[in-house]
Every structure is written in structure tokens, then in C-alpha cells.
Amino acid sequence: METIAARLPSPPAKALPEGAADCHAHVFGPLDRFPTGPSTYAIPLADPAVYEGMLASAGFTRGVLIQPAPYGQDTQALENALAQFGGRVKGIAVADDSISDERLYALDRAGVRGLRFIEMLDPKSGRRYAGSVGIDALKALAPRMKPLGWHAQIWAKCADIPRIFHAIEPFGLPVVFDHMGQYDAAGGASGKIFAAFLDVMRSERAYTKLSLCRLSQKTPGYEDLRAFHDALVETAPDRLLWGSDWPFVRMGTNSPDVTHLVDIFAKWVKDEGLIHRILVDNPKRLFDFSAVDKISGL
């Protein structure tokens, strides 16, 4: 198994608000206890202790861990990580419709708040990523997810999102689209494809994550994404989340600094009330961090 070190953030210049959540990161391992299955990329050395260091270094109080594809539907590493954070970190698992109700309820007790479905293709194989589950499984799973208060998280191309959303909207679940809708920046923020995504984002059930690192051709400033970012903030501020995508699988030496990504977000949004809404209020509502607040007195 090929491995690679995970990049840790630099110290932030400005403290994040209490309760700020990074809503998209991955944990791998400890690999001696939880080895992955086959992977098309080097596995980051990003166990729960390293992840905790990332959150602390960048100034996040909370986080959301996404089941990475090399673990398939084996959620042992995810559940192990969630157990170490006392509710400060929630999870998104992967499952198909063969999962039992008993396992769904066990995942819910562990801190899982939704399931991820992938419609993107692996550029190396031209097929869906190994270990991922497509939205065809969601029709059977949705009636079982809804009583738990779970949502569906979907990674798909921007051009496919309107079709996907309208197909699953009758299920009545909140839907979170990864990576700002995975648009092509070359198409422009005023193009038809992104405009159709903005129409989806006007629905009360549609959320997306402000995640820059996989969309830009103009790093480290990400200037080509500013218009898209602004349009989303204007259109759906109550249904935006922020996600780093740490530890940046497949990015290698091009992995960004999480703190740099946060600094760009704060610079672009500017308004402290909006920053608090996106980093604190929206994830608190969607991922149900309220129990943690009762314990901590927030």
C-alpha cells in the first residue's frame, strides 16, 4: 500500500468563531488496525490523531468526516474516529440498499448523519470509483434515512445535478452537493450549466459545500472561482457549508494549506454574520450539533 504524509495547516491569523465546522475531510486508519481496500491513489497518513491536529491548527471546533472510497462500505475506521470526538465530529457513511436497519441505527448512534453517493467517474479507469455507491441505491434507502433525520450527499458533475436533484427531490431528503457543484470554471459563472445549478440551490432542500481546491486552474489565489463563490453566497447563504477536503487525496505536493483556504473564504465573504452562518449555524442545523452545545453550554 502506497502512503503519503498529510499536510497540516499553518496557524491562522484570525480565530474562527466558536463552533466553526470543516464539513468535508477524510480519515484513514490507523492503517495497522483499519487497512483500506484497493485504491487508485496513495493513502494519506491521516488517522484520527492527525485529523484532530488539523482541526486544532486551523481553529475548527467541529468537523464532518466523509467515508473515503478505498474503505468501500466498511465503516470501522469512520466509527472509530467518531468515537474519539465526543460528538464534536459527525460522519457521512457509504452504504447500498442491502444494509440492515440494525446497522443504520448503529451508524446513527455513532454520529453518522447521512450517506454519500457518487456519480463521478475515476479519470484513470473511466468507471465509478471503487467502493462508491451510485444514486440508484438512494430510492430504496431514502425511506429508511428520513426517520433518522439523515441527508444524501452527492458528488456529481454540475451538468448532471438538475436531473439528479429533480429525480430524488420527491424522496423528501436534504441533499448536499459536494465541491460547489463540481462545475467547470471555464464555463463561466453566467453560463447555462452553473445557472441551472443555482436554480437547484434555490430549493430549501439543496445544500452545497464551499470547497475550492479541486475546481481552480489559478492557484493559490483561486481568482477564477470568485464569481461562482459570490453567486452561491448570494443565492443560498442558509444552505452553504464550508469544506476543506483535507487531506487532499490525489493532490500530492499540490495540496493546499487549510488555513489559506479559510483565509480566502473570509476575505471573499467579509460579512461576519454570514461567516458565522456558513461556518457555525448551517452545519449545526444540518448535522445536529445541538447535543454538543447542551454539554458545552453554548
Query: What's residue 50's pLDDT?
Result: 98
pLDDT, tens digit (0-9, with 9 covering 90-100), for 3-25:
999 999 999 888 999 999 999 99
Whether 152 and 174 have beta carbons less than 8 Å apart is answered as: yes
* HEC letters along 235-277: HCHHHEEECCCECCCCCHHHCCCHHHHHHHHHHHHCCHHHHHH
245 is catalytic: yes
Query: What's residue 290's pLDDT?
Result: 76
Instruction: Tell me the three cell numbers of residue 228.
Output: 461562482
Whether 47 and 31 have beta carbons less than 8 Å apart is answered as: yes
Whether 199 and 234 have beta carbons less than 8 Å apart is answered as: no
Cis, peptide link before residue 247, omega less than 30° from 0:
yes
Share of the chain above pLDDT 70, in %: 96
pLDDT surpassing 70 at residue 226: yes
Helix (H, G, I), strand (E, B) or coil at 53: helix
pLDDT surpassing 80 at residue 291: no
Comparison of pLDDT for 232 and 297, the residue scoring more: 232
pLDDT, tens digit (0-9, with 9 covering 90-100), for 123-171:
777 777 777 899 999 999 999 999 999 999 999 999 999 999 999 999 9
Pick from 178, 222, 249: nearest CA to 7: 249
Query: Which residues share a beta bridge with 91?
Result: 65, 112
Of 122, 245, 271, 293, catalytic: 245
What's the DSSP call for residue 121? B
pLDDT confidence band for 40 (50 / 70 / 90): confident
List domains and CATH numbers for the chain. Answer: 3-296 (3.20.20.140)
